[in-house]
Every structure is written in C-alpha cells, then in structure tokens.
Amino acid sequence: MKRVQLPASNPTLKDGFVPPLSRRALFKAAGAIALLQAIPAWARKGAGAPFSFSSVPLSEQADTVVVPPGYRWRVMAAWGDRLDGSGAGMPGNASHSAAEQAALFGMHHDGCALFTAADLPDRGLWVTNHEYLDDGLLHRDGTAGWSAEKVAKAQAAVGVSVCHVQKRAEGGWVVVPGPLARRVTATTPCGVSGPAAGHALLQTAADPTGERILGTFANCAMGVTPWGTYLTCEENFDRYFYKSGKPSAAEARIGLDDKGLFRWHEHDTRFDAGNNPDEFHRFGWVVEVDPHDVNAPPVKRTALGRFKHESATVKLARDGRVVVYSGDDQKGEYIYKFVSRDLYDARLKVGRAHWGRLLDEGTLHVARIRDDGVWYGDGEWVPLVWGQNGLTPEKGFADQAAVLVHARMAADAVGATPMDRPEWIAAHPSSGEVYVSLTNNSERGKKVAVNGANPRPNNAMGHILRILEQDNDAGATSFRWSVFVNAGDPEAKAPEHRGNVNGDWFGSPDGLWFDPRGILWTQTDVSADKLGQGPYARMTNNMMFACDTETGEFRRFLIGPKGCEITGVAMSPDLRTLFINIQHPGESPTERLDPARPTAISSWPDPAFGRPRSASICIWREDGAEVGV
C-alpha cells in the first residue's frame, strides 16, 4: 500500500508530553489513566511489533460476537436490564411501560466509559449513551396506535445510563448494585452554562430563564475529562423535532423539517418547533455528566458550540489548557476544537472544582484545511469569536451566543473545510497526533467538491485523517495533516472502493479510540441498507480492528452479530478487559423493525428472549494477560 510519510517533525515518543496531573485526578477516570501509562506500556509492546492475536477471518460473520482464539466475551448490560445487575426488567415482547423503561437501561448503546478509583481497580462506574430508537422494537406493537404513553416510553429509552460494575474472578465484569446508578433521559432536568446560558435564543414559555432544559437525547459518542466527568454528545437531535411548512434558514441549516421521524411532536408540543421555536436551540450541545454524584444535574456546555456533535475528545494543551475535539457528523460538515481560557490545575480536587470553569470560558475553533494539491498539507484552527472573521451583526451574528447556537453558519462564514462526515476523534496518548474517522459521503464530488483531505468522489468506504498539531501541542492554532488510510475492499469492483488498507480491510470507520499503549481501536458502522451489498458485498456484519499507527497495520479483532454496528470502547486500568457496545443488532434497512417479526435479522444476544437487544459487552483473555498485544 502507499504509506504516507509525515514530515521529519512527526513526533516520536521522546517528544511525548505527559500532562501534570495529580495522582488523585489521574486515577479518577480510566480515560485519564491513559495519560500516565502511555509510555511504559507502549515500550513493552514495542513500536511496530505485531499484534499477538490472530485476525478473525472474514468468513466468521454470524449472528454472534466472534473474537480471536484465546479470548472470551460476555454481555454486561443490555437494553431493558435493571441497573442493579439483577437481569432483564422487561419482557421479551416489550410490553413494559414508560415508567418501567425509565428505570432500565435504554436502547441503542453508543459511546461509553469506565470510571475507576486507584484503590479499587476492579470496581467502577460504567457510563453509556443510548443514541436513538427503533420504535418497531421498543413497543410491543410498534407504532400502531401511537400515543402519549409510547412517546413517554421513547423518551425514557434514550439518554445516558450510569451503573456500578465489578470484575469477576474469571475475568469478565458484571453490573452490581450501588448508590450512584441512574438514568438520564429526555426528561431529566439539565443545567445550561457558558455564553448561551439564559440567552433569548434558549428561552421558552416553559423556561423563561433559558437555564433549565429537560433532558438530553441523540447521545452518540463522548469524552472523559481529567477531573472525572463524562461528556455526552447530542448528535442527530433534529429528527426528534417537527415543523410544518418551511423552516428558517438557520433551522434548515441544522436539519429541521416537516418529517418528525420519531413523532414526539404528536403528543408533546415541546417538539413542535412551529409552536416552540427556541426549544430546538436547547439541543445539539455537549453535556457534562458527573457520574460520581447521583444528584448532580447534567449541564449543557454551550461554549463548545451547537451542531451534531460526535465525540468530545479531551486532551491537555502543553500549557495545561483543556482541549476538546468534536466532529459534526453530516455530509460536508466540519471538525471543531474548543480550547479553554484557563489552565487545568491538578492541585485542585477532582470534580466540582473544575465543574463550570474550564468548559465555560474558552474559544471554539473550526478546521480550515489548505487544499494545496499535495498529499499532506497545512491547516488552521479558525476561532469562532463574535466580532472576528466576519462574525458580526451585519452578517447576522448578534453576539457570541448567536455564534455558538448557529455554529455551522459561523463555520460557513469563516470558510471551514467540509469533510466526509466526521465521526469519532482519537488523540494519541503521548504525541500530538489526532485521528478523525470520516465515515463516508455519497455527496462528495456532487454537492461538495473533492479536496485534498477528502480525496475520493462518492466516498462510499470512508477514510481516516491524521492531524499533527503544530509543535506537538493540542493547544496549537495550526496543524499539518495527511490521509492516514483510505478504507476499502481490495477486491471491490470499482477502483475507488478498493482503498489502501494495510492488513485487514474495512469500510465506514466510525468508533475510533486510542488505548493507553497507543493501539488505535477502529470500529465500523456500515448502515443496514449497505451491508452485504455493492462495495460491501463481502462485509455482512460490522467489525472492530486494532491498528498500529506506526506500521499502519489494521488487524480484525472482532465481528459483531447481524445488523449491528460496533461502537464505544473503553478498557480497565490494567488493560486486561476491553469494553465495547453492540448497537442495534438486527436493525433493518428502514431502521424500524416489524414488531411482528423482531428477530427476522438477529436474535442476539439471547435467542430465547424474543427480541434482539443492544448491549455493553466485556472481552478478556483466558490467560488473563493484556488485551490486544
């Protein structure tokens, strides 16, 4: 394959910067532990050394989870399970009520994280998002007799779940009872902070203060802060709203239409944007959840901008400012980076000392990539600051809140670079490299011109972009970039679908996460209407790969059940357990199953249950050694 050589300034381990975190802060979140462990663990593996596991063969596509020989897996928390680990709280025919659903794990698990304490490494808090809904599966008779009760049940099945988990002797983890277990749903009271808090654009008849929002939903990928909180992202929130007639330019820019896919507006006027235009502005944010305080309301951090957020990957700048990378997952949308004004101070206690400080004051930037016609080039992070770069009242931006609420339009105005659907963003644990999965874009070359960083027209297979921050510093205002890999099947009929993957081929990369050793875990989300067809003829199930970014090798680690996507990934502090989410097993091409035949495509994980269920699973080695190496 053609390997891209970065310039000589490509960082090496000796350039690695380990941020000044206190031990207490460090051990608060497993994600933050990565920062300390990065160098020794990587050294053990040895840069460029081959993975020790054997690749799962492509032929192993079945209605189950397949892992390499010597590995085991088990379901930890499935849709409808009780939060105390006592098993399913819903029947297999999904006849449970909205009130019952509100106390159970939601559906369609996505981003996730494990939080552990230093002195209790085998216990922790498991936090997982619930991204969206299949109403054919959620209700016993699907959408028949659509009612307020069905809307309430849908609103109870989205959001975030927090539960306690514990390692068992054999290596797997299970959900256990504990005081911090809770559900955050589409009706949970949330706070709002940052420049748009209380602004007229966020004020509604039900909340004239503009500071108290009911719920979060469309929660896709995520981030973990060094102070031990969880960032959940609101992605395709527009699909829950409805507006009859023509939306305004700003509403249309972020997807409001008269389809009302989830039909919430029919029984909850909050979602009728014709009557409640500002409720629509109260979603599309990054929301901070403190899993260590069951009474703490989630807070929408408006300084990070409003768009279809996928991932909120946190890194510390060289000087200690907090950096949050976020993609906007839609065809031709942008990559953003927030940089805090203040420094992360490891001497402060974790949690509330930082709560409401670092993510409320700072600058949101958008990536502008210089398309100079070469394979790698330059880029800059353009600040989205009111009064600068044409973001003025004359151009329709009355103040900074307007810039943030209408972040896409602000990014348009400063000439941001349209990308092929930015999904997850992974920051290398010790270098300044940042990897962005660009899942696919059928409109590239049609509605959106090809550019250097999005080089393939009708990009059906997707690619991964590598960003190298200037001076290896996440706080930099400029960067260099290269296309790390063009995904594809080397045996595909069309040359543009073959890609240049070194090792096991894949398409539609979505989940992307560096473990503390620098292994880039890559997960696919080929949509149900594309699996097994066209360029995906040889791929009927979604998969997960380990990638060594030194050699560029991708190796197939896992194949999921029928009709699922693989998304979300975390590890235990000892790196001996890997956690992922299996989202929407059995999904049909319409994304809505026939309630009379819910197991038509998949009955995973339990054929006797009666319905397929999304689930968090854990994976470990029979010999108890580290996963992946």
Place of tokens 């706080």: 475
What residues are paired with 556 via a beta bridge? 545
In the complex, least distance from residue 609 CB atom to ligand FEO, rounded to whole angstroms: 25
In the complex, least distance from residue 587 CB atom to Ca ion, rounded to whole angstroms: 7
221 or 453: whose CB is closer to ligand FEO? 221
Q: Return the H-helix or E-strand segment holding 136.
A: helix 135-138
What residues are paired with 558 via a beta bridge? 544
52 or 590: whose CB is closer to Ca ion? 590
- 235 is in the binding site of which of ligand FEO, Ca ion, none (Cβ under 5 to 8 A by kind)? ligand FEO
In the complex, least distance from residue 437 CB atom to Ca ion, rounded to whole angstroms: 8
In the complex, least distance from residue 413 CB atom to Ca ion, rounded to whole angstroms: 27
- 279 is in the binding site of which of Ca ion, ligand FEO, none (Cβ under 5 to 8 A by kind)? none
d(CA 213, CA 283): 9
The yes or no reply on residue 234 touching Ca ion (CB under 5 A) is no
DSSP per position, 295-334:
TPPPEEEGGG--S-EEEEEEEE-TTSEEEEEEEE-SBT--
d(CA 169, CA 346): 34
- 288 is in the binding site of which of Ca ion, ligand FEO, none (Cβ under 5 to 8 A by kind)? none
**Contact assessment for residue 333 and residue 439, using Cβ atoms and an 8 Å cutoff:** no
In the complex, least distance from residue 262 CB atom to Ca ion, rounded to whole angstroms: 15
CA 608 to chain centre: 31
Task: Name the segment binding Ca ion (CB under 5 A); options: 27-35, 86-94, 405-413, 524-532.
Answer: 524-532
53 or 79: whose CB is closer to ligand FEO? 79
Nearest alpha carbon to residue 547 among 608, 617, 485: 485
Residues 422-441 that bind Ca ion (CB under 5 A): 423
Place of tokens 């992605």: 235
326 or 577: whose CB is closer to ligand FEO? 326
The yes or no reply on residue 333 touching Ca ion (CB under 5 A) is no
In the complex, least distance from residue 132 CB atom to Ca ion, rounded to whole angstroms: 8
Judged by CB under 5 A, how many residues of this single chain contact Ca ion? Answer: 4
309 or 368: whose CB is closer to ligand FEO? 309
Q: Which of 565, 611, 620, 626 binds Ca ion (CB under 5 A)?
A: 565
In the complex, least distance from residue 604 CB atom to ligand FEO, rounded to whole angstroms: 20
CA 153 to chain centre: 24
Element counts in the chain: helices (H) and strands (E): 8, 29
In the complex, least distance from residue 124 CB atom to Ca ion, rounded to whole angstroms: 24
**Contact assessment for residue 367 and residue 417, using Cβ atoms and an 8 Å cutoff:** yes
548 or 565: whose CB is closer to Ca ion? 565
In the complex, least distance from residue 132 CB atom to ligand FEO, rounded to whole angstroms: 8
423 or 553: whose CB is closer to Ca ion? 423
- 81 is in the binding site of which of ligand FEO, Ca ion, none (Cβ under 5 to 8 A by kind)? none
**Contact assessment for residue 196 and residue 401, using Cβ atoms and an 8 Å cutoff:** yes
- 207 is in the binding site of which of ligand FEO, Ca ion, none (Cβ under 5 to 8 A by kind)? none
Nearest alpha carbon to residue 59 among 452, 523, 556: 556
In the complex, least distance from residue 376 CB atom to Ca ion, rounded to whole angstroms: 26
The yes or no reply on residue 525 touching Ca ion (CB under 5 A) is yes
219 or 430: whose CB is closer to ligand FEO? 219
128 or 431: whose CB is closer to ligand FEO? 128
In the complex, least distance from residue 307 CB atom to ligand FEO, rounded to whole angstroms: 12
Neighbours of 179 (CB within 10 A): 7
d(CA 12, CA 16): 7
Q: Return the H-helix or E-strand segment holding 379.
A: strand 376-383
In the complex, least distance from residue 525 CB atom to ligand FEO, rounded to whole angstroms: 7
Q: Which of 290, 420, 510, 548 binds Ca ion (CB under 5 A)?
A: 510
DSSP per position, 579-620:
EEEEE-TT--TTS---TTSTTSS--TT-TTTSS---EEEEEE
Residues 394-423 that bind Ca ion (CB under 5 A): 423
489 or 525: whose CB is closer to Ca ion? 525
Place of tokens 């003025």: 392
Task: Name the segment binding Ca ion (CB under 5 A); options: 408-416, 454-462, 474-482, 507-515.
Answer: 507-515
d(CA 602, CA 64): 9
220 or 619: whose CB is closer to ligand FEO? 220
DSSP-assigned letter for residue 420: B
Q: Which residues bind ligand FEO (CB under 6 A)?
A: 131, 220, 235, 310, 329, 423
Q: Provide the CB-side half-sphere exposure for 404 (13 A, CA).
A: 28
333 or 423: whose CB is closer to Ca ion? 423
**Contact assessment for residue 269 and residue 286, using Cβ atoms and an 8 Å cutoff:** no
3-class secondary structure, 29: coil
Nearest alpha carbon to residue 156 among 138, 142, 168: 138
Place of tokens 């829950």: 240
- 565 is in the binding site of which of Ca ion, ligand FEO, none (Cβ under 5 to 8 A by kind)? Ca ion
**Contact assessment for residue 543 and residue 531, using Cβ atoms and an 8 Å cutoff:** no
- 131 is in the binding site of which of Ca ion, ligand FEO, none (Cβ under 5 to 8 A by kind)? ligand FEO
Cis preceding linkage at 40, omega within 30: no
For the chain, what's the residue count? Answer: 629
**Contact assessment for residue 221 and residue 233, using Cβ atoms and an 8 Å cutoff:** yes
502 or 527: whose CB is closer to ligand FEO? 527
- 528 is in the binding site of which of ligand FEO, Ca ion, none (Cβ under 5 to 8 A by kind)? none
Q: Which residue is nearest to Ca ion (CB)?
A: 525
Nearest alpha carbon to residue 129 among 140, 113, 116, 118: 113
In the complex, least distance from residue 329 CB atom to ligand FEO, rounded to whole angstroms: 3
Task: Name the segment binding Ca ion (CB under 5 A); options: 51-59, 343-351, 509-517, 532-540.
Answer: 509-517
Per CB under 5 A, residues contacting Ca ion are 423, 510, 525, 565
